[in-house]
Amino acid sequence: MPELPEVRAHAERLERAFEGSVLERFEPLTFTALKTASPDPSTAVGTQLLMVDTRGKFLLLGFGGHGADGPSVTFLVHLMQGGRLVPDTKLSRRPRNGIARWRFGAERAGSNADPDDAPTPALLLTEAGKEHKAGIWVFEGRPAGADSRADGGHPDDQHPTGDAASSPLADLGPDADRVDSEQLAAALGAKNQRLHGFLRDQRGIAGIGRMLANEICHRARLSPFAMTRKLDATQRAALLDAVRSCIADALEFERSRDSMSRSADRPARVHRRKGAACPECGDTIRAVEYAAYEVDYCPTCQTGGKVLADNTTSRFLR
């Protein structure tokens, strides 16, 4: 699943390509695409794409009038595992793996784009596979929880109404790259759980998935199964530094690309490198394997040389 760096870099690419484009039509292409009943997506027709933003692993497409302070309608998009939001030049009646499409007019109003550049006619949400889990929510203005700032968010987020009250952003913690030491300490202490699970729980800090969780634990030199309430101040500081640096490195890589990377293409020190040599110490990278994913780590760097048991019923290193 795309994580915070991939989603944010992709949002930047989309904003450069589509900012100022005027929406002509929104087309749900499957019955499962739209997760909200109100407002009607057609209320955004005739307005411009003002911004493409992110919150955790979500994309936000904000539409409104030229010069508006903020969007009048926001489309919230979650790509899940196999979803992608891509420029669509073919405009096929039944695009392969198509979930939904935003069609735009022939001009880009109020944009910084080169006027000689022909605008792309549409944005297409696709999802590979048979299980359609990617989704779109539509909100008036900003959805609850849309702001990830440390001051608690946008004032409008505090009084959601209608479908905004059920925004999937409402329960997210602060974005992982913007969390401060006090917020991280509070989140770590809220529930005593394994560190790897904490990092993937979007309610604590948002935007981290399996790959970043493995990489962050390794860079912080912490066991993925260390218990969160037992981390001391030095370990919490190492964790915060690792969160910030891992995301910064991943974001730098992703910004160098023209499109969103595949998981296998993303640079990693331990993630999915079971059996390889640790680039830090040379020890063999190990994995605790589950049905849907694995936790990768270096015993020398992270667990004092101890090998973690490879099943969920065993007694793990604390």
pLDDT in tens, 47-81: 999 999 999 999 999 999 877 788 999 999 999 98
3-state secondary structure 206-244: ECCCHHHHHHHHHHHCCCCCCEHHHCCHHHHHHHHHHHH
pLDDT exceeds 90 at position 310: no
What's the CA gap between 258 and 238, in Å, rounded?
Answer: 32
Task: Please tell me the distance from the alpha carbon of residue 147 to that of residue 55, in angstroms, as a whole number.
Answer: 7
The domains spanning 4-147 and 176-302 adopt the same CATH topology: no
More confident residue, 27 or 150: 27
Mean pLDDT taken over the chain: 90
Q: What is the pLDDT of residues 92-146, one digit of tens each?
A: 999 999 999 999 998 776 655 555 556 679 999 999 887 789 999 999 999 999 9
- Say what the pLDDT of residue 158 is: 41
Bigger pLDDT: 156 vs 131 = 131
Lowest-confidence pick of 34-38, 147-151, 266-270, 311-315: 311-315
**Predicted confidence (pLDDT) per residue in 227-263, tens digit:** 999 999 999 999 999 999 999 999 999 999 999 998 8
| Superfamily holding 4-147 | MutM-like, N-terminal (3.20.190.10)
Helix 4-18 to helix 233-255 angle (10° resolution) is: 40
Q: What is the DSSP string of 60-89?
A: EEEEE-TT-SS-SEEEEEE-TTTEEEEEES
Cα distance between residue 239 and residue 279, in whole Å: 19
Q: Cα dihedral angle (193, 216, 13, 25), rounded to 10 degrees?
A: -10
Report CA dihedral (80, 164, 37, 131) to the nearest 10 degrees. 10
Q: Give me the percent of the chain exceeding a pLDDT of 70.
A: 88
- 8-state DSSP, 129: S
How do the domains of the chain map onto residue ranges? 4-147, 176-302
CATH number of 176-302: 1.10.8.50
Average pLDDT (145-165) is 51
Rounded Cα distance between 145 and 55, Å, is 8
In 3D space, the residue among 136, 109, 132 whose CA is nearest the CA of residue 123 turns out to be 136
Query: Distance (Å, rounded) from C-alpha 20 to C-alpha 65?
Result: 10
Average pLDDT over residues 201-214: 97
Mean pLDDT value of segment 27-37? 94
More confident residue, 296 or 115: 296
Q: How far is CA 140 from CA 145, 153, 154, in A?
A: 13, 17, 14
- Torsion angle of C-alpha atoms 155, 70, 100, 164, degrees rounded to 10: 20
CA distance 24 to 103: 5
Two tokens, residue 214:
């493995």
For residue 106, the surrounding DSSP H or E stretch is strand 98-108
Would you state the pLDDT for residue 112?
56
Cis peptide upstream of residue 39 (ω within 30 degrees of 0): yes
* DSSP-based three-state secondary structure for 304: coil
Both tokens of 195, joined, read 């560190």
- Residue 298: pLDDT over 60: yes
pLDDT grade, residue 160 (50/70/90)? Answer: very low
